[in-house]
Amino acid sequence: MGDSVPAARSARAVFEGIIELGPRDLKRVAQLKGLGYTQATRAFHNSVAKFGVRVLGGANNEMLGLVLAFFEVKPTEPYRDVLFDSFSSLRSLSYLGVDMTDLSTLFGLVYVPASASGHVYLSLFEKLKERGLISSYRTHVAAKRLRYSVRPECIDWSTGKYSFEWADLKDRVAEDTVFELSESVLADYVDLLIIKELESDATISLSEISNRLLEKHQLKVSERLLLYHFTRHLVGHKLLSRYKVFFPLANSISAYIIVRVKASCNEQYAKLVRRIPFLSIELFTGGDAVHISSHNIPLDHLPGFVSYVQKKLRPLVSSLDIKMSIQGLRYAYTIPFELFDIQTGMWKYDAETDARQVTIRAQELLSSVRQREGKPID
């Protein structure tokens, strides 16, 4: 294709290549897509500057001995207005949102150990119920996770907007490889800190990572040592999943679809979910009893999304629930490196400690609210 390719077509090609090869070697990306290196570099940087396109890394949770658990909680009346901020202090969080269709409901994802201790940790929610913070809850532990990038062919790369017809969407295969769960952690502390930085921005250099580790953690790690960890540990131990390309989440709805798929419909359901251009994550519980998918939907595409779910997905399921959250009422989090015990090389989760932490924070916030409103403090 060379440098004669129009800018929009070259941008699409570049990001198709990045999804395949990652962002660290644009020369290889250019060769893969038949572009000139200068044009590929220009297309990448222009799209980042104009449209806010982001390339993020992600951990292979299986290799880190972690799985994700979906949760939904309903606060008791006294804590209805403070529980979101109280929950946000949990170090195990991957995602936290307020359901915009029922503002009294919180939902999200927590990292838990793949070992039996992960199920023990989920007693956190029962402890919060016993303390009177929540009235009810439900959890689903995911046996496997798949992550997805934007679909470059569904973007108008001259405007940075989605442009597609729902009826014309094609099948796509999963981008990630699912590995067997490891109950041990095939990483050390430095590995986790590198992953954390790549989850925020996968395009940063080793020099920038070194500076960030010193600034944030007072940890001095040379570029040479970072390169060793990256090649020998992150790549060598398959700690990183494939890099993902995302558009900014501002002015978008974050939706989680939670379904029980009818018997014999699992393959068809997964195929139709993966056609959705906004798909970000798929989670599967043991035996695929429950399927959870997350989607980041631009506001102007919400009606089409809802129609697609009703017409294509609903006939294949026995139950369907959608949780939606908007900007300002949702948080996303990187790998929970704070819970890694350097001495033992294992994850350190304590449901009692976290329940106490959330309770103390909720009581502090509630006292502050009552003081401002001039109400008595219990």
Instruction: Report the C-alpha gap between 102 and 323 in whole angstroms.
Output: 9
Buried b vs exposed e over 118-140: b needs ≥16 C-beta within 10 Å? beebbebbebbbebebbeebebb
The pLDDT of residue 251:
82
Nearest-5° angle of CA 126, CA 127, CA 130? 90
| DSSP per-residue string spanning 25-75 | -HHHHHHHHT--HHHHHHHHHHHHHHH--EEE--B-GGGGTEEEEEEEEEE
> Residue 364: CB partners within 8 Å, gap ≥ 6?
none
The pLDDT of residue 178:
75
* Residue 240: DSSP 8-state: B
Nearest-5° angle of CA 89, CA 295, CA 146? 85
The pLDDT of residue 288:
64
- Tokens 């999963």 locate to 174
The pLDDT of residue 226:
97
The pLDDT of residue 378:
58
The pLDDT of residue 377:
55
What number of H helices and E strands is found in the chain?
12, 15
The tokens describing 147, both together, are 């992550």
Instruction: Report the C-alpha gap between 223 and 296 in whole angstroms.
Output: 35
The pLDDT of residue 41:
95
Q: What is the full per-residue pLDDT of the chain (378 aa) written as tens digits?
A: 455 468 899 999 999 999 988 898 899 999 999 999 999 999 999 999 999 999 999 899 989 999 999 999 999 999 999 999 999 989 999 999 999 988 889 999 999 998 888 899 999 999 999 999 999 999 999 988 999 999 999 999 999 999 999 999 999 988 877 778 887 888 999 999 999 999 999 999 999 999 999 999 999 999 999 999 999 999 999 998 888 999 887 789 999 999 999 988 999 999 999 999 999 999 998 766 899 999 999 999 999 999 999 999 999 999 999 999 998 889 999 999 999 999 999 999 999 999 999 999 999 999 988 888 766 655
